[in-house]
Structure 1
């Protein structure tokens, strides 16, 4: 079985960048739906970038992930969550603990 910790950093970085490019392309995939299915979203990725770097700001990390300032992305692509989406997210995030 392959070990995640031995994965070459360049390979991991390439895969991460491909994931970010995919999420930038699929702007129709709402964060609330990603949270409901997988327990993470673009904001989580940006938080992880911020934590991993230690010097980058939250706004800068979000701009890396979204490809634009978060407020701009939110204004253009965000829709209000339904009660059903919020409940799916709550259940999904509970599995992260």
Structure 2
């Protein structure tokens, strides 16, 4: 596999991951953090960091919009309910290690 082909495949996989997350808005960021130790916001931060590493100027909110497919505050208002006490307890336990 050539480096170019690998890059194209990786980009396609990333787009597919974003499509999958978009199709499953019921999966909350806190659930992702509990189970996988990353969430949509992490992807946004990683996206911004990689853009910055390549000399591209990308604000965090712009990176979030790329990941969420719309402004984050709009997405949050539509799809992200407040975390339940159970979710918060599980997240806190996860952070302990």
Q: Which runs of 4+ in 1 moved over 6 A?
A: none
Counterparts of 1:61 and 1:37 in 2: how far apart (Å)? Answer: 23
Counterparts of 2:15 and 2:70 in 1: how far apart (Å)? Answer: 15
1:77 corresponds, among 70, 76, 79, to 79
Partner of 2:59: 57
Whether 2:20 is the aligned partner of 1:22: answer yes
Q: Which has the larger radius of gyration?
A: 2
Deviations 1:6-28 (A, max 9, x none): x8111111101100011111111
Partner of 1:4: none
How many residues are matched?
A: 90
More relative contact order, 1 or 2 (CA 8 Å, 6+ apart): 1
* Stretches of structure 2 lacking an aligned partner (at least 5 in a row): none
Instruction: Give the Å deviation of 1:91.
Output: 3.6
The TM-score normalised by the length of structure 1 is 0.83
